[in-house]
């Protein structure tokens, strides 16, 4: 159902980037940004899964994500 | 030196000639000595060992020297010196002698016979055989305990792997490495230790590049320690991100929420202490009780203050039961802007509010906001001329309680707000969040692809991911903006994104 629609709202990503950077974003750069985000999310979830596993939880808990997201963010810093 | 050695060769051949049992027994010490000697000083020992045997012909040493034996000793010496192995010089020499000069004197003949016997003895049970036997025996001896240990370790490893898996990965890995080393030192296959690391990582990520695996463990190891240390500093802007959406403030709240567990614990710890304080106040009177507990648990309180302050929205909700606690904990978010207010008001309110319920006092005293309050209201205290220790707590409590109650309402309202609401960036521009459905879809597919069977995401988890998403976009687009600015462009280009992605690859 949703697969037929777009993967992500491009306009939203553009607006987010624009708002945070106070700069325009070129035509297709938002796709790259979203790719970056995807990588980030993957990293986050992977680490969170490890963390959750270490804590003996089933699935990924919000605590695991909270613990991990900062490092993930650090990793994706420019 | 020479005395005992002269005897020995005499004895050994006799015994060896007489008894087979003795024959077997005798060579071993002898060979052992030989071995030792060969190990200790290869060239000299054979000569020394040989010389007495050649001179075992009791009398003839003087006789033989001028004759054929005079040739022998030096030649044998030379040979032994040349052929570094100790055994060989013993054998070739007599053979030479046989060929060159047959012993003429009876003593020499006897010596020759003895030597031959010795030879036969040695050749019969060649040193190699003996060594082999010894080695095999040693192997058997070694093997059995080792095998037992190995089997034990394997069994234990298999059993222990799943249980030990959860708490510490580092130790396990190091253990596994150690065991692997041991195993390699022992020489054989080490299946047990090899199994463990893949088990840990396997279910989580199958096909991902392996160099990503190292960092998380490292980071976790690092994070555990500074988690508390950082949180001491980190909470400063903990709450600011909600209204003003300052960029780095958001990181503070990460820790805030991380500390929630601690905060809850603190709350639990406070309970009994508060009760204790009540008791002490009943018995002794409020001031002394406070003072006593202040002395005793100063450090704990200073810690708890930090923890309590850092308590996040969540913890407030979670703690629930002890409402006064959560009320009394001034979250930094609010205390900072409204600091001046309480400083003015308490003077008026002191007389009225001097009889608040004791638990509140206890709580306040426990949370060493007292120290801050003392700093703030030190002058006030002196004006009103009341015991300093209790005063500030009494004054501030009702105030803070009222203010905090309001704030907490706001907080709880805020708690749900940021998820849905439009936010305002650092530059004052409103921006939407990435729709959570998109994030959920992405995340679920990722979890599923990473091999985890449980691909469900709870709402809280999704919220946490959304928060991370927000931060990520904030961080990324700020970096992108900087890159673009550095490149002298007004718009963010693909090259900027590529630069950004190269940075963290």
Q: For residue range B102-145, what is the model confidence (pLDDT) as tens digits?
A: 778 888 888 888 888 887 776 665 556 656 666 665 555 556 77
Q: Do B379 and B419 meet the contact criterion of CB atoms below 8 Å apart?
A: no
**Contact yes or no for A69 and B432 at CB 8 A:** no
pLDDT at B4: 46
Q: For residue range A10-49, what is the model confidence (pLDDT) as tens digits?
A: 888 888 888 888 888 888 888 888 998 999 988 888 888 8
Q: How confident is residue B502, by pLDDT bands cut at 50, 70 and 90? A: confident
Determine the Cα–Cα distance for residues A23 and B426; give it in Å rounded to an integer. 12
- Pick the range with the lowest mean pLDDT from B20-24, B300-304, B460-464: B20-24
Closest approach of A11 to chain B, Cα-based (Å): 10
Name the strand (E) or helix (H) holding B424. strand B423-424
Determine the Cα–Cα distance for residues B339 and B77; give it in Å rounded to an integer. 101
Across B140-154, B194-208, B282-296, B432-446, which has the greatest mean pLDDT?
B432-446
**Contact yes or no for B223 and A23 at CB 8 A:** no
Where in the sequence is the domain holding A46, given as residue range(s)? 10-75
Tally of domains within chain A: 1
DSSP-assigned states of every residue in A1-69 = -TTTS-SS-HHHHHHHHHHHHTSEE-TTHHHHHHHHHHHHHHHHHHHHHHHHHHTT-SS--HHHHHHHH
Q: Smallest Cα–Cα separation from B48: which of B60, B36, B66?
A: B36
**Is A48 inside any structural domain?**
yes
Q: Which of A17, A45, A55 sits opposite B477 (nearest CB)?
A: A17
Q: For residue A58, is it left (φ>0), alpha (ψ between -120 and 50) or beta? A: beta
Given a cut of 70, whether residue B445 has pLDDT beyond it is yes
**Is A53 inside any structural domain?**
yes
Q: Give B490: exposed, middle or buried? Use CB within 10 Å, 0-12, 13-18, 19+.
A: exposed
Instruction: Please give the average per-residue pLDDT across B447-458, as a whole number.
Output: 77
Interface test with B, best of A2, A3, A13, A16 (most B CBs within 10 A): A16
Q: How confident is residue B343, by pLDDT bands cut at 50, 70 and 90? A: very low
Interface test with B, best of A37, A63, A78 (most B CBs within 10 A): A78
Q: Which residues in chain A have their CB less than 8 angstroms from residue B251's CB?
A: 70, 73
Q: Which residues in chain B have their CB less than 8 angstroms from residue A68's CB?
A: 216, 219-220
Task: Give B492's strand partners.
Answer: A25
Tally of domains within chain B: 4
- Residue B467: partners with Cβ closer than 8 Å, 6 or more residues away: A69, B250
CB atoms within 10 A of CB B147: 12
Terminus-to-terminus CA distance in chain A, angstroms?
36
Locate the chain B residue with the closest alpha carbon to A64.
B461
**Is B218 inside any structural domain?**
no
pLDDT at B130: 58
**Contact yes or no for A32 and B450 at CB 8 A:** no
**Is B111 inside any structural domain?**
yes
Q: Which residues in chain B have their CB less than 8 angstroms from residue A13's CB?
A: 434, 473
Q: Which of A61, A75, A76 sits opposite B461 (nearest CB)?
A: A61
More confident residue, B431 or B420: B431
More confident residue, B160 or A66: A66
Joined together, the tokens standing for residue B494 give 């693909």
Q: How confident is residue B491, by pLDDT bands cut at 50, 70 and 90? A: confident
Q: How confident is residue B73, by pLDDT bands cut at 50, 70 and 90? A: very low
3-state SS record for B118-155: HHHHHHHCCHHHHHHHHHHHHHHHHHHHHHHHHHHHHH
Rounded to the nearest integer, the mean pLDDT of chain B is 57
Locate the chain A residue with the closest alpha carbon to B424.
A19
* Residues B166 and B118 both lie in one domain: no
Interface test with B, best of A21, A59, A61 (most B CBs within 10 A): A21
**Is B133 inside any structural domain?**
no
Given a cut of 60, whether residue B229 has pLDDT beyond it is no
Q: Smallest Cα–Cα separation from B367: which of B275, B295, B303?
A: B303
**Contact yes or no for A75 and B215 at CB 8 A:** yes
pLDDT at B42: 46
Determine the Cα–Cα distance for residues B389 and B395; give it in Å rounded to an integer. 11
More confident residue, B425 or B54: B425
Joined together, the tokens standing for residue B97 give 């002698």
CB atoms within 10 A of CB B242: 21
**Contact yes or no for B484 and A23 at CB 8 A:** yes
Q: Which of A23, A32, A46 sits opposite B204 (nearest CB)?
A: A46
- Which of B62, B92, B125 lies at the terminal end of a domain, its last residue? B125
Given a cut of 80, whether residue A70 has pLDDT beyond it is yes
**Contact yes or no for B473 and A37 at CB 8 A:** yes
Q: How confident is residue B488, by pLDDT bands cut at 50, 70 and 90? A: very high
Task: Report the CATH number that the domain containing residue A25 is assigned in CATH.
Answer: 1.10.20.10
Q: Smallest Cα–Cα separation from A52: which of A43, A42, A63?
A: A63
Closest approach of A32 to chain B, Cα-based (Å): 6
* Residues B94 and B192 both lie in one domain: no
* Residues B367 and B264 both lie in one domain: yes
* Residues B253 and B358 both lie in one domain: yes
Instruction: Please give the average per-residue pLDDT across B301-321, as a whole number.
Output: 48
3-state secondary structure of B477: helix
Interface test with A, best of B480, B482, B498 (most A CBs within 10 A): B480
**Is A55 inside any structural domain?**
yes
Locate the chain B residue with the closest alpha carbon to A41.
B443
Where in the sequence is the domain holding B180, given as residue range(s)? 142-202
pLDDT at A61: 85
More confident residue, A18 or B16: A18
**Contact yes or no for A29 and B474 at CB 8 A:** no
**Is A54 inside any structural domain?**
yes
* Residues B194 and B91 both lie in one domain: no
Joined together, the tokens standing for residue B415 give 């708690």
Q: Which residue has the tokens 């106040």?
A: B281
Helices (H), B19-102: 20-25, 27-40, 44-54, 61-64, 69-82, 87-90, 92-100
Q: How confident is residue B182, by pLDDT bands cut at 50, 70 and 90? A: low
**Contact yes or no for B425 and A24 at CB 8 A:** no
Given a cut of 50, whether residue B496 has pLDDT beyond it is yes
Instruction: Please give the average per-residue pLDDT across B212-232, as a whole number.
Output: 50
* Residues B378 and B483 both lie in one domain: no
**Is B157 inside any structural domain?**
yes
**Contact yes or no for A46 and B490 at CB 8 A:** no
- Which of B202, B217, B252 lies at the terminal end of a domain, its last residue? B202
Given a cut of 80, whether residue B153 has pLDDT beyond it is yes
- Residue B169: partners with Cβ closer than 8 Å, 6 or more residues away: A54, B200, B217
Name the strand (E) or helix (H) holding B221. helix B214-234
Determine the Cα–Cα distance for residues B460 and B395; give it in Å rounded to an integer. 38
Rounded CA Rg of chain A:
15
Question: Dmax over Cα atoms in chain A, in whole Å?
Answer: 45
What percentage of chain B exceeds 70 in pLDDT?
Answer: 24
Q: With both helix axes pointing from N to C terminus, report the angle between B27-40 and B127-165 in degrees, rounded to the nearest 10.
A: 80
Determine the Cα–Cα distance for residues A38 and B481; give it in Å rounded to an integer. 20
Cα A39 to Cα A33, A36, B183, B395, B480: the distances in Å are 10, 5, 39, 53, 16
**Contact yes or no for A67 and B167 at CB 8 A:** no
* Residues B321 and B406 both lie in one domain: yes
Instruction: Please give the average per-residue pLDDT across B462-470, as a whole number.
Output: 88
Tell me, what DSSP letter sits at residue B105? S
More confident residue, B212 or B154: B154
Q: Which residues in chain B have their CB less than 8 angstroms from residue A58's CB?
A: 454
pLDDT at B240: 46
Given a cut of 80, whether residue B200 has pLDDT beyond it is no
- In total, the C-beta contacts within 8 angstroms joining chain A to chain B are 230
Q: Do B370 and B363 meet the contact criterion of CB atoms below 8 Å apart?
A: no
Instruction: Please give the average per-residue pLDDT across B342-358, as a whole number.
Output: 43
Closest approach of A36 to chain B, Cα-based (Å): 7
**Contact yes or no for A73 and B431 at CB 8 A:** no
Given a cut of 70, whether residue B347 has pLDDT beyond it is no
3-state secondary structure of B104: coil
* Residues B93 and B191 both lie in one domain: no
**Contact yes or no for A62 and B458 at CB 8 A:** yes
**Contact yes or no for B461 and A65 at CB 8 A:** yes
* Residues B416 and B272 both lie in one domain: yes
Across B21-35, B92-106, B136-150, B372-386, which has the greatest mean pLDDT?
B136-150
* Residues B352 and B330 both lie in one domain: yes
């Amino acid at each position: 159902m949703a697969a037929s629609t777009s993967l992500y709202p491009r306009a939203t990503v553009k607006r987010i980037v624009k708002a945070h950077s106070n700069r325009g974003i070129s035509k297709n750069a938002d796709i790259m940004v979203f790719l970056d985000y995807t990588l980030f999310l993957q990293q986050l979830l992977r680490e969170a899964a490890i963390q959750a596993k270490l804590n003996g939880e089933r699935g990924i808990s919000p605590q695991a994500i909270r613990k991990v997201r900062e490092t993930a963010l650090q990793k994706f810093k420019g | 030196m020479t005395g005992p050695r002269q005897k020995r060769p005499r004895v050994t051949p006799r015994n060896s000639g007489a008894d087979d049992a003795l024959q077997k027994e005798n060579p071993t010490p002898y060979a052992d000595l030989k071995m030792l000697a060969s190990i200790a000083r290869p060239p000299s020992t054979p000569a020394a060992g040989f010389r007495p045997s050649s001179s075992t012909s009791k009398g003839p040493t003087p006789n033989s020297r001028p004759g054929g034996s005079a040739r022998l000793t030096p030649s044998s010496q030379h040979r032994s010196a040349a052929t570094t192995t100790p055994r060989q010089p013993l054998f070739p020499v007599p053979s030479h002698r046989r060929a060159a000069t047959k012993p003429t004197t009876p003593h020499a003949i006897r010596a020759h016979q003895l030597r031959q016997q010795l030879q036969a003895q040695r050749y019969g049970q060649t040193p190699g055989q003996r060594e082999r036997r010894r080695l095999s025996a040693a192997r058997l001896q070694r093997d059995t305990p080792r095998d037992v240990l190995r089997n034990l370790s394997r069994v234990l490893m298999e059993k222990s792997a799943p249980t030990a898996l959860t708490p510490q990965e580092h130790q396990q890995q190091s253990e596994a490495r150690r065991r692997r080393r041991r195993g390699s030192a022992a020489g054989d296959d080490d299946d047990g230790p090899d199994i463990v690391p893949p088990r840990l990582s396997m279910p989580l990520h199958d096909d991902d590049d392996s160099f990503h695996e190292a960092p998380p463990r490292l980071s976790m190891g690092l994070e555990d320690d500074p988690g508390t240390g950082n949180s001491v500093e980190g909470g400063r802007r903990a709450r600011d991100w909600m209204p003003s959406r300052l960029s780095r403030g958001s990181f503070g709240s990460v820790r805030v929420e991380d500390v929630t567990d601690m905060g809850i614990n603190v709350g639990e710890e406070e309970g009994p202490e508060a009760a204790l304080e009540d008791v002490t106040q009943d018995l002794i009177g409020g001031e002394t009780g406070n003072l006593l507990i202040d002395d005793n648990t100063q450090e704990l309180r200073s810690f708890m203050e930090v923890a309590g302050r850092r308590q996040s929205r969540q913890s407030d909700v979670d703690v629930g039961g002890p409402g006064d606690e959560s009320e009394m904990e001034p979250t930094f978010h609010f205390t900072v802007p409204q600091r001046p207010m309480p400083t003015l008001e308490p003077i008026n309110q002191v007389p009225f509010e001097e009889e608040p319920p004791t638990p509140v006092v206890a709580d306040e005293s426990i949370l060493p906001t007292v120290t801050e309050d003392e700093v703030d209201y030190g002058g006030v205290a002196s004006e009103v001329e009341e015991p300093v220790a209790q005063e500030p707590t009494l004054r501030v409590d009702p105030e803070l309680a009222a203010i905090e109650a309001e704030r907490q309402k706001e907080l709880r309202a805020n708690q749900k707000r940021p998820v849905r609401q439009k936010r305002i960036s650092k530059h004052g521009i409103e921006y939407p969040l990435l729709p959570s459905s998109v994030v959920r879809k992405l995340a679920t597919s990722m979890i599923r692809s990473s091999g985890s069977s449980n691909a469900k995401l709870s709402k809280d988890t999704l919220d946490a991911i959304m928060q991370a998403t927000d931060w990520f976009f904030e961080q990324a687009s700020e970096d992108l903006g900087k890159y673009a600015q550095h490149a002298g462009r007004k718009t963010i280009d693909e090259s900027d994104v590529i630069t950004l992605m190269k940075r963290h690859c």
